[in-house]
Amino acid sequence: MKISLSRGFLLLIAAFFGFATASILAYLIASQPVHLRVAVGPKDRVDDTMMAAFNRILEVNKVSVRLDLVNTSGLQANNELLTKREVDLAVVRLDDPLPTSAQVIVLLRTNVVIAVAPARHKLENFSDLKGKRVGLISRSTLDEPSFNKLLDVFGLKPTDFKLAIINPDEVAEQTKSGRIDCVVVFGVPADPEVAAIVYAVDGTKKNPPKILAVDVGAFLKENSPVASEATIAKHAFPRRMIPDDDVDTVGVPTALVANTVSTGPLRYRLYNNSITDITKNLLERRSELARKVPLASLIAAPDTDKGARFPIHPGASAYLGDTDTSWSTLFSDQIWNVLLVGGLLSSIATGAAGFLKKQEKDPMRELLDRLKAIAERARSATAPEEADELSRDLGALAIDIATAGYERHSSYEEFAPLQLAFENTRDAVEALRRRKQPPAPRPAAAAE
């Protein structure tokens, strides 16, 4: 009978430790951040820089998702990878049709049509370009097709004027020589690359270049599901103080989009939660992100109204509409089981942590010991010159104290003993500095 009880007890202990080990492993696995692959276009361009900086913010704030950047040749290549499901997210321009499985998370910026011409040509509107020589800056494979669509809106054909694809470094020479009458670029005025193109157009301080109006709002409202009315603000290009008033134009959003998943409710839930975290942090931390990448200040939430132009990802919608279903609703039984077992495991863990903490050397105590050693050296020293060396040691120790307080987030009560000890040690060093050496004895002959 005794043997039977012993075996049963050992079996119970083995089962407990097996369950505890499995629970700890499951927790460690579950607590690891979800990694999502995002296509960001050419390396070291604005989208690559922005997403890399955003990923660092996610790491610093211990958000449960990380971004693995995949560099491509541009926005259209990003969309292709998303279509093939080789990435989870992508930065795309919304005039490039999205795959049916993809939906919008946030709008990163709106690329507007910026048509700029030397003042001597006296051009005012995009429709004035008929018969002119136009240079298109193609920063994406999407720019030329979009430009041709814009021509259709105005009833223009490529044969109505001379179109040339030019590089940004050709703008100054070609507009000055007259080989180009107007330069067109798709982008945002705040983008340094776009601003450099505008500033390169020929002009003087008294006669700066002219930003042409692109007024097709009514047509776009009825015929374009993607483009929308936009405005180039007054003095958007401050170095030349142009335009001198708000100018109407059209724009197409660049967005961060994500694929949806349909394999199993748990994976669907985890994936959507990750998208929710990305949406929340992009919108709530955009000011922080803008300090590293200024264009991040243009990040905006997509339209969530019924009949919105772009489909919104469920994960983004959960944050924007605050309609997320809680985990407790989906997994209430599992949560109670975890809490029950977790209570027992946490008690064991607390006891073990307490024991280990006793064995661990307290860094604050070590700092106090170092202060005590400096104070004792100051009191036992005989030469005031030693005060300089002790003062340097005390200065280095002050930095260590400040670092420890910052890293431990110490309260005033926790920090008060160190402050008192530091002040006493400093007083001892200053007392040594003020101490005078006894006068040297006079020679015997002088004494007589």
- Residue 60: CA atoms inside 13 Å, Cβ hemisphere, count? 10
Higher-confidence residue: 208 or 448?
208
Average pLDDT over residues 157-182: 92
pLDDT score at 418: 75
Kindly report the CATH number that applies to the domain delimited by 109-254. 3.40.190.10
This model's pTM is above 0.95: no
pLDDT band at 87 (very low <50, low <70, confident <90, very high): very high
CB atoms within 10 A of CB 328: 10
pLDDT band at 4 (very low <50, low <70, confident <90, very high): very low
Same fold for the pair 31-108+256-328 and 109-254? yes
User: Which bin fits 235, alpha (ψ -120 to 50), beta or left (φ > 0)?
Assistant: left
In this predicted structure, the answer to whether residue 193 has a pLDDT above a threshold of 80 is yes
In this predicted structure, the answer to whether residue 233 has a pLDDT above a threshold of 90 is yes
pLDDT score at 1: 40
Q: What is the pLDDT of residues 388-408, one digit of tens each?
A: 777 777 777 777 777 777 777
Higher-confidence residue: 212 or 216?
212
* Residue ranges of domains in the chain: 1-30, 31-108+256-328, 109-254, 331-359, 363-434
Which secondary-structure segment (H or E) carries 420? helix 412-434
Residue-wise DSSP of 244-311 = SS-EEEEEEEEEEEEE---S-HHHHHHHHHHHHHHHHHHHHTHHHHHTTSGGGGG-BPPP-STT-SSP
**230 burial type by CB count under 10 A (0-12 exposed, 13-18 middle, 19+ buried):** buried
* Helix runs in 137-200, H state only: 143-153, 171-177, 192-200
pLDDT score at 16: 64
Q: What integer best gives the mean pLDDT of the chain? A: 81
In this predicted structure, the answer to whether residue 274 has a pLDDT above a threshold of 70 is yes
pLDDT score at 156: 81
pLDDT score at 325: 44
In this predicted structure, the answer to whether residue 326 has a pLDDT above a threshold of 50 is no
Higher-confidence residue: 218 or 118?
118
**Which has the minimum average pLDDT: 15-29, 63-77, 199-213, 365-379?**
15-29
Structure tokens belonging to residue 67: 């971004």
Average pLDDT over residues 315-328: 69
Give the CA distances from residue 271 to residues 111, 212, 267, 403, in Å, rounded to whole numbers and listed in that order: 29, 45, 6, 39
- Residue 203: CA atoms inside 13 Å, Cβ hemisphere, count? 26
In this predicted structure, the answer to whether residue 298 has a pLDDT above a threshold of 80 is yes
pLDDT score at 336: 46
pLDDT score at 69: 96
pLDDT score at 208: 95
Give the CA distances from residue 361 to residues 109, 354, 357, 400, 401, in Å, rounded to whole numbers and listed in that order: 52, 13, 8, 16, 16
pLDDT score at 442: 57
pLDDT score at 404: 75
**Which has the minimum average pLDDT: 83-87, 314-318, 335-339?**
335-339
Average pLDDT over residues 47-71: 95
Assess if CATH 3.40.190.10 describes domain 31-108+256-328.
Answer: yes
Structure tokens belonging to residue 157: 């054909």
Q: To which residue do tokens 């803008």 refer?
A: 290
Q: To which residue do tokens 């002040």 refer?
A: 423
pLDDT score at 157: 81
Structure tokens belonging to residue 321: 């509409």
Average pLDDT over residues 108-118: 95
d(CA 149, CA 104): 23
**Which has the minimum average pLDDT: 9-18, 376-385, 422-431, 436-445?**
436-445
Residue-wise DSSP of 294-314 = GGGGG-BPPP-STT-SSPBPH
pLDDT score at 31: 57
Secondary structure (3-state) at 25: helix
The angle at the Cα of 338, spanning 332 to 339, to the nearest 5 degrees, equals 90
CA dihedral 69, 70, 75, 81 (to 10 degrees): -130
Q: Given 3-state DSSP classes, what are the helix, strand and coil percentages for the chain, each rounded to the nearest 5?
A: 55, 15, 30
In this predicted structure, the answer to whether residue 253 has a pLDDT above a threshold of 90 is yes
What letter would DSSP give residue 44? T
- What are residue 111's DSSP bridge partners? 252
